Each structure stands twice: as structure tokens, then as C-alpha cells.
Amino acid sequence: MPGGRRAHTGAFFEDFRLGRRILHATPRTFTDGDCSLYIALTGARQVQHSARPVAWALGYRDRPLDDLLVFNMAFGRTVHDISLNAIANLGYADARFCAPCYAGDTLRAESEVIGLKQNSSGRSGVVYVRSSAFNQDGELVLTWVRWVMVPKRNLEAPAPGTVVPELPPSVAVDRLSIPSFLDASKFDTAATGSSALWEDYQPGERIDHASGMTIEESDHMLATRLYQNTARLHFDALATRDSQFGRRLVYGGHVISVCRALSYEGLENVLSIAAINSGGHVGPVVAGDTLYAASEVREKWTLPGRADLAALRLRLLGLKNLPAARLASPRGGDGGYDPHVVLDLDYTVLMPRRGPR
Amino acid sequence: MPGGRRAHTGAFFEDFRLGRRILHATPRTFTDGDCSLYIALTGARQVQHSARPVAWALGYRDRPLDDLLVFNMAFGRTVHDISLNAIANLGYADARFCAPCYAGDTLRAESEVIGLKQNSSGRSGVVYVRSSAFNQDGELVLTWVRWVMVPKRNLEAPAPGTVVPELPPSVAVDRLSIPSFLDASKFDTAATGSSALWEDYQPGERIDHASGMTIEESDHMLATRLYQNTARLHFDALATRDSQFGRRLVYGGHVISVCRALSYEGLENVLSIAAINSGGHVGPVVAGDTLYAASEVREKWTLPGRADLAALRLRLLGLKNLPAARLASPRGGDGGYDPHVVLDLDYTVLMPRRGPR
Amino acid sequence: MPGGRRAHTGAFFEDFRLGRRILHATPRTFTDGDCSLYIALTGARQVQHSARPVAWALGYRDRPLDDLLVFNMAFGRTVHDISLNAIANLGYADARFCAPCYAGDTLRAESEVIGLKQNSSGRSGVVYVRSSAFNQDGELVLTWVRWVMVPKRNLEAPAPGTVVPELPPSVAVDRLSIPSFLDASKFDTAATGSSALWEDYQPGERIDHASGMTIEESDHMLATRLYQNTARLHFDALATRDSQFGRRLVYGGHVISVCRALSYEGLENVLSIAAINSGGHVGPVVAGDTLYAASEVREKWTLPGRADLAALRLRLLGLKNLPAARLASPRGGDGGYDPHVVLDLDYTVLMPRRGPR
């Protein structure tokens, strides 16, 4: 019984060629079950995802799915082809949320290789991809760039020419997608209990969110399987015993979702995520770690033609095993990150304005 | 980077004033996903919640949601304002289930402070609130009284006048809400496999339910997040390390749900919970504990104008780490509870009658 | 307070009589929530269950439920009456999937005792049952035979006459149910990313699936509760402490589901499970075990009148704590199973044909 001719071992660095376009498998129909699980897995409370009447009042045809549920589900489509073998998920940039998703919508994804850079060791390389997710009508729902470090299969394979894509430090205001039907003047802050609107946030302000969440093996595996993300390092305790960390790692997208849910208090009236500007996972998370979150306001932007809402550029810091209020600075003494920091994400949200309307 | 101006630290004793009315945030639309999760988290088997045709035969327009799913979801709305800081959840009383809930319904909740009593230590006080949950049509779904012990922020703050509300020992028969459309004569006991109806239960009878359920950290956290209950002591292993119990506590509502599911065998033909008369959490539950349940029949009531169904007043005892059959009495030697008892709940259910009809 | 007159202790060997027909309790309506949970619990990726448009293209009226979700849910109905007391779940045979199930369908189940054989010890016996599950229209969805070892309540009770049903080694091709509406010529392999169709598999071929999945207590209990399977040995850490294995056992149906999900890579284009021919659980699984899977192609069958699809008879081997590629043979030195093998399942799937069409 000869084994394994079909055993998929993931893509290696030399499998990626600049400009290659990959249609990812396994389209996925969202359901209300996904929404309930997302709440159960993260504790998300953003009210437009929680209550249908709130969504209707804003102009949505149903509860829109949590932006990060959509992100993680789209990301899950890409893992098999892009990062099954990844040594590290190095960063995200230029992610734009282009259209709301609803239960019943079906997501598919594709990616294009937009950059390649072999590492000086010759043992691995960095692959840059732009991935995009579409709904059943072919409408672009989400597009993002990420880059991953992938090992070479054959160390003798020649290095490709180095191409590193130019990525904007943040998604410019005029590239944000604001649904034309969305009417934030109808947003009732009684539904969140917070009266803090766009005008109440100032660049430089930091919010230390008080809540913490301890991660269990079941939790992160349930989430990662829900997204049909198959990367083995999240699931296989035996295989990861001999890895760098000696155990399963928590999928980074689950860390983002939990940290974002932890950051709810103080940012209650966020309407949606419009962009992820940059950032990434700067430290590993394993079961047993307790996550905390801090937010910083980086910039404030009005939006052309919109008196009802405006944009905030935020930084979301995810911490492990240190409450946010006890983090003096995300930087450690050596110029790198404080070892408690696991996530540093720069993103842009929409928020109702108080102004004349 | 000065931290935390928005960090919500929960309400303290002196924040509660008699008669204050609190509109709770975060309305929540129920979905079929919540029902599936509720079954997966508790093992609930009550047939009218499990099978749509059974519910239709009884006159419901769809599967009604499990009463305790509704209770926990409503309770979850209130935590942020009432009990985020609670030292102890002391008791429940006068809870009435007034209208069935269905997937698609949206729940919101409000509370009124109906009693205050500073503790003799001067360090904390007991707050009594009546909370009520409404559906999207403004219909009252559920109302209940609970009282919690809350610390004082400022020990120098003057004590309020003591007001302790008078609470009925049980919800009187004429205050029970029986849906007018409900026709229990259509209940088919083949769907439960038990022929025991209202006539078959006698006051004084005790049922030692045989099943046990061991609680895991993931289970109780999933349940508690599903209800968007944010009390930190359920989630943060780091912060609770220095607490009285040294670890996360299981949310009491999850204990009620699990014990009720464990009590299914012997009470298969319960149609719905009509009231929670009184009771509460008399011992802490932590992950690793195995829960068991015993039921006692306290009273039997016919209902005016109803030949098809009647009411049973039950006592549900939740035990940890001791099978129900091995509990001689819920009272320990010193007059307090046996240390295995974690829940003592007095509640009223509706059950079909065998009588002439 | 005398305890327990209603305490259900499960059926014993002498409770089963040949020909006895048992109508199982607790019908269950499937929902989209069950589908999401099934994906989250197993990581299933079969595309016709994942994406509605793929199912529509094949002729289904909605996403059909995963065959093993239906199997486990049907099985769950039977546990209370058949196997609550089972010492061992010995095997399955002649299982036929007769009609697709969809969210909204309600399943009920019944069983007939078709064989009895007291063990030579006189302390227990083997009970053979044929169980069948029906939807709300009375349509047969699934039927299967299983046999379980059950203790005697009264060792003095006389042994029944031995009747061992004759079971086919596999479900014959002409007994497979192929939905008449199903049109596999419309299957688009882009949705799975694999071009391997029926023609590409050869008897004798073995596929060592690379992925592994570590089982947690929460995971298997969530799954088992979702199916409303109440067998105590899966849930009660205290009661199982004194059992043979000293701890909770993972429900075998969850093991089948996980191993089948692990076997996805290499069998991406399976349309559905048509039959489980034989097999069973040959070793216990407990939380902490890491599961792996290997598949062997046993037979290939064309189907009369169908040019669009054909059948593959497969063997699914589930392993614990040993990657499939490292298993030389499922047999150990002594003629029994290698101790890593936990599941040996012979089943038949439908797969699109490449042939002229």
C-alpha cells in the first residue's frame, strides 16, 4: 500500500510566480449560524450585527455580518493555496471592505502574487499576495494584501527577481467604500448606551480596554474550523510538539477578532470597519494566554458628501497576559515590541457624527 | 499616552438610586443559530424547542425558544449596568415568562432599582432590581427580580435609606401567563417517550436525575459570550487568579441551563417554564466540576379555564461532584447548604393534563 | 425524600426482544445553525454542503446537510433506548443514505431488534438493531444496522435464542439511492480545486491524509450534545473515573466525522455518502488524542443509467497519535489492529465521472 500520492503538502516558495492568479476553492454560504457562533466565540457586541432592527434603521437590508467574520471567512479560503506551509504571517496592508455581507451570501476568493523576495538564507522567501473576496453576484466584498514567509522546497532552486509591492501607509479616504444606502443619522445611541460619537475622539487619545479573555484550545480551533482554515499548526498538538513553540498556535485572525471584541467598550458606536491599513501579528498566542486590548486614535477624517458619518483611523494593540492599563508603551527597551504585544493593527472605522444634520 | 478615560469599570453601590430606570444597551436578534448552540452547550431536549412540527401542533407559530435561552439572553443585556462589579448574585424572585420568543425576534431589556440596603460593613450593599425584556413589538417577554451585592466606590458615601422590596414566595397562579393559542390537548407523548403527565406527579416526590455533566472552560465561556454577558470573572483567568476562588467562575445562568437539561429525564413532558419563584446560586462552580440535578415536586395547581394543562411547582437542586442519588438532604449539618449544592431554584412549569378533555 | 423512581437507567440485555419495534423520542428540526456548528466542530469542507450555489447547480433545492451530520443526528435519537448502557458499540453495517436532508427538515427515528446473542459469560449480550430515520413527510432518509454489547440486569434471566442477522459485506450497487434530480455533469471542479474524478481512483490505492486534529473535551461534548446523544460516558468525568478508561470517551460518531473531514484532501470531489457498508470503532479515543486518517480505494462501480457519476467503495482508517504516512499496516503483529487504529469504516461514495457526457 504505497501512501500518499494525493497528500497535499502546501505550496513552497518556488511555487509562487509573480502575476500568478489563484482561484481559491470552497465557496462558503454564510448563515445565521455563523453569526451566532461568531458572537459565542468572540463576545462581539457591535449592535448593527446583533440586532436586525438597528441594521434596518441604518438602511441595511438585514443584519450585516461582522466585518471580521467576513475577513476571517475570506482569509480561510486562501490558506490552502497561500499559507498552508507558512513559517510566518508577516503582515497585512491595504485591506478595504467594499460591500456588506449578509446571511445567505456566498463568498469565494482569489489571489494574485504581487511580490516575491527570497530571504538571504536561501531557505525561504516572502510572498506578497493581493486577495479578493466576492459574493454570489460577483460583487467585490473585500480585498487585502498580505505577505507570508514560505520555505523553499528545493534549496537549489534559483531565486526569483525581487519585487516588493509599494503599499500605502493607510487606505486613503477617497478609496473607502461607504454604502450609498447607509444613513448614520438614523443611528440611535440608546442601542449602545454610549453617546461618544466621531467628534468625541481626538488623535493621540488612548483607550485601555478593561476586559480580558483567556483563550482555550477548543475556542480557537472551533473558530478556525468555522472559517475552514486548515493550517495544521492550529490543530495538531502532536505535529507542533517539535515546532518552535512546542504546541498549537492560535490563528491570528481569531486573535484579531477577540481583541476587537475586547475593544468594544469605548468604541461602542463604530458602524463598520472600512479598511485595515497595515499591521500584523507581532507575537505568538497559545491557549492559556489571556488577551487584552488597547486602542489609540491616530487620525480623524471627514468624508466628502457625508454629514452623517466620518472616519477614525485607529490602532488596535492586542496584549497577552498584561492588562492594557499596565502597558506603558508597546515598544520594549530594545526598539522592538514589548513581549506582551501580540497584535498591532492600524485600521479605519466609520462612526456617526454629531454635527448638524 | 494617558490611559483609559473610557474604561468602563461597572456600577458601584452608590450609583444605584431607588426608582432609577435603566435602559440596557445591545438589543439582540435571536436566530436558529442560537437554538443550535443552546442545544450543543446544554444538551437540552425539550421537544417543543427541538422539533418544529411538535411546536406547530401545540399552536406555536414556530419552535419557541427555550425559556432559559431567553432568560440568559435577557439577563445578558443587564449585566453591563447592574452586575459587572457584583461581588455576588444573591437571588432571583418573581420571574414570569410572559410571551414565547422565536428565532427572528429581537430582545431588549430595561431595569428599575426597587431596593437598596447597605451592608453593615459599610463596604458594599445589596441592590434589588426588577428587569424586564421586550420583543420588537414592545411586548413583555419576561420580567424578573434579582438582587446583587455590589461594592461601594467611596466608602465615605452616605448610606441610602434601606428599602427591601416585598417579594412573593411564589408567583401566584393567576399571575402566570398562559398563551391563549396553546392547546396542550394536541401534545403527543410519543414525541418524548414518557407518558407521565401532570396527574402523575405528587407534592413531596423527588426525582434524582441520573445524568452528570462535567463543565469545561470553553463550554461556559462560549455560553456566556453567546448571551453577550461581559462579567469579567467568567473570562479572565489572569485577573481571577487573585480572586477568592483563584480562577474563573462559571456564569450562574449556564449552571441553571445545564442543571435543567440534566433534569429532563423524569420531567419530559414539561411544556414551558411559566415562572421562577425564587432561588439562587448557593455555591460556586468552576471548570472541572461535574454537575448533577435533583427535582422535587412542591405544589400542583390547576389553571382556571384550562382542562388541557396545569402547573407544577418544582424545586431544582443543582449539585457539583455528587450524583443526586447520593444527596441525603440539601441541608448540611450546620443548617446551611450541603457543600455540594450549587443551585436551589423554585420554579413553575406547565404540563399537559391527562384528565377529561 | 425517597429518590429516583423516574431515574432512567437505560435498557439491559433482557429488555430487548426479537422483532420489538421502538419509536424513538425527540424529533429534531435541522437548522443552518447545525450546519455551521458541524463545520466548526469538524472542519468539514465538502463543497456541496458549504455553498448553496454549488448545491443548486447539482439540482439540490438547498445545501444538503452533511451526510454524517444526518447520521449522527439520527443516531442520537436511538441512544436513549438502545445504547445508554452499552458496554461497547461493536459495529455498523448496511447503512444506506436514501434521501438528502435540508435545514428545516425534521428527523425522527425508529429501530427494530433484529438479532440477539447472549455472551458466554452470561453477564451481557449483543443486540442487533436496524434503525431508520424519516423526515417530516415520512420519507426514509437513512437506515442502518448496528450491534452493541449491553449488560444483563439480572444475571439469572434466561438467555434468548441466538439470532444473528445476515448482513451483506457491502451495500450492493442496485440498493444505492441516487437522487433522480442529481446532475453531476454540472459539478464544477473549480469549486474544490481538485480535478480528480471517479476515473482517477484505482482499487488498491491508498491516500495518507496529512492533516491531524487534536480532540478537546469541549469539542466532543459540544458535538455529542448537538446530536442530543445522552450516553453518560461522554459527559461525566466523575462517573467515568472508575471506568475501564478512567475518563470520558469520545463519542464514536464524532470520531467518524473528524476522520472524514481529515480525509477531505485527496477526495475533494465526493458528492455524497451513499452507504456505510461495515465497520466500527476498534479503539477508544479520549480528549488529548490527535486523530489522523488514511483512505483506501476498495472497489469502483458504474451505476446503471448514470453517465454523470459513479461509485467508489472506500475504506476510512482513523488513527490516533500516529500520522497516516507512518502506518505501515492497520494490522498489528498479533493479527489484531495496530493500537493506533481507532476506526475502520467501509463506505461508498458517489463521485462525478469524467467520461463522455
At residue C171, the pLDDT reads 98
Whether B75 shows a pLDDT value over 80: the answer reads yes
Residue A136 forms contact with B (CB below 8 Å): no
DSSP three-state, residue C37: helix
Q: In the A/C pair of chains, how many CB contacts fall below 8 A? A: 151
Checking if the pLDDT of A286 tops 60, the result is yes
Average pLDDT of chain B, as a whole number: 95
Give residue A8's pLDDT.
63
What band does B82 get if pLDDT is binned at 50, 70 and 90? Answer: very high
Distance of CA B95 to the CA centre of its chain: 9
Residue of chain C with shortest Cα separation from A28: C51
What is the DSSP secondary structure assignment for residue B144, as one 8-state letter?
E
Contact C219 A218 (CB under 8 A): yes
Hey, are the CB atoms on B41 and C225 less than 8 Å from each other?
yes
Note whether C136 contacts B: Cβ–Cβ < 8 A: yes
- Please give the residue of chain C at the shortest CA–CA distance from A108: C191
Contact B280, B341 (CB under 8 A): no
Contact B217 A213 (CB under 8 A): no
Q: Mean of the pLDDT values across residues A140-169? A: 96
DSSP string, A55-121: HHHHT-SSPPPPHHHHHHHHHHHHHHHHTTT-SEEEEEEEEEE-S---TT-EEEEEEEEEEEEE-TT
Please tell me the distance in Å from C130's CA to the nearest CA on chain A.
33
Compare CB distances from B325 to C4, C27, C223 and report the shortest one's residue: C4
As a whole-number percent, the residues of chain C with pLDDT over 90 amount to 92
CA separation for the pair A105, A102 (Å, rounded)? 6
Mean pLDDT, range C146-156, rounded to an integer: 95
C303-330 mean pLDDT: 96
Question: Could you give the CA distance from residue B341 to residue B329 in angstroms, rounded to a whole number?
Answer: 10
Q: What is the pLDDT of residue C5?
A: 44
Cβ of B266 under 8 Å from any chain C Cβ?
Answer: yes
8 Å CB contact of A41 and B222: yes
Per-residue confidence band for C356, with pLDDT thresholds at 50, 70 and 90: low
Give me the pLDDT at residue A87, please: 86
pLDDT tens per residue across span C113-141: 999 999 999 999 999 999 999 999 999 99
Find, among C239, C227, C4, C84, the residue nearest to B207 by Cα.
C4
Of residues B88 and A308, the one with the higher pLDDT is A308
In angstroms, the Cα distances linking A223 to B69, B220, C267 are 22, 16, 24
Decide if pLDDT at B4 tops 70: no
pLDDT of residue B356: 60
Q: Considering CB atoms only, which of B40, B47, B325 is closest to C7?
A: B325
Q: What are phi and psi of C272, to 5 degrees?
A: -170, 165
pLDDT tens digits, B129-171? 999 999 999 999 999 999 999 999 999 999 999 999 999 999 9
Q: Does A248 touch chain C (CB under 8 A)?
A: yes
Q: Does B177 touch chain C (CB under 8 A)?
A: no
pLDDT (tens digit, 9 = 90+) per residue, A209-260?
999 999 999 999 999 999 999 999 999 999 999 888 999 999 999 999 999 9
Q: Cβ separation of A41 and B225 shorter than 8 Å?
A: yes
* Amino acid identity, position C298: R
Contacts with B53 from chain C: Cβ below 8 Å: 27, 29, 106, 136
**What does the block give as the cell for B195?**
407518558
State percent of chain A over pLDDT 90.
92
Q: What is the mean pLDDT of residues A289-303?
A: 98
- Give the pLDDT mean for B223-231: 96
Mean pLDDT of chain C: 95
pTM, two decimals, is: 0.97
**Partner B contacted by C26 (CB < 8 A):** yes
A44 pLDDT band, cuts 50/70/90, is very high
In angstroms, the separation between the Cα of residue B138 and the nearest Cα of chain A is 13
Dihedral in degrees, nearest 10, Cα atoms C311, C133, C92, C323: 70
Set of chain A residues whose Cβ sits within 8 Å of the Cβ of B232: 210-212
For residue A285, what pLDDT is reported? 97
CB contact under 8 A, C211 and A236: yes
Express each pLDDT in A87-119 by its tens digit: 888 899 999 999 999 999 999 999 999 999 999
Interchain proximity C34–B36, CB inside 8 Å? yes
Confidence bin at C8 (pLDDT 50/70/90): low
Rounded average pLDDT over B327-355 = 93
Q: State residue A357's pLDDT score.
A: 46
* pLDDT score for A356: 60
Could you tell me if C77 lies within 8 Å of chain A, comparing CB atoms? no
pLDDT of residue B157: 93
Which chain B residue is nearest to residue A205, measuring alpha carbons?
B1
Of C156, C148, C165, C146, nearest in space to C10 by CA? C148
Over chain A, what is the mean pLDDT?
95
CA nearest to C62, candidates C49, C45, C47, C46: C49
Inform me whether the pLDDT recorded for B357 exceeds 50: no
Strands (E), chain C: 21-23, 28-29, 88-97, 106-118, 124-134, 140-151, 206-208, 213-214, 272-281, 290-303, 306-320, 341-352
How far apart are the C-alpha atoms of C23 and B32, rounded to whole Å? 27
Q: Is A3 on the interface with C (CB under 8 A)?
A: yes
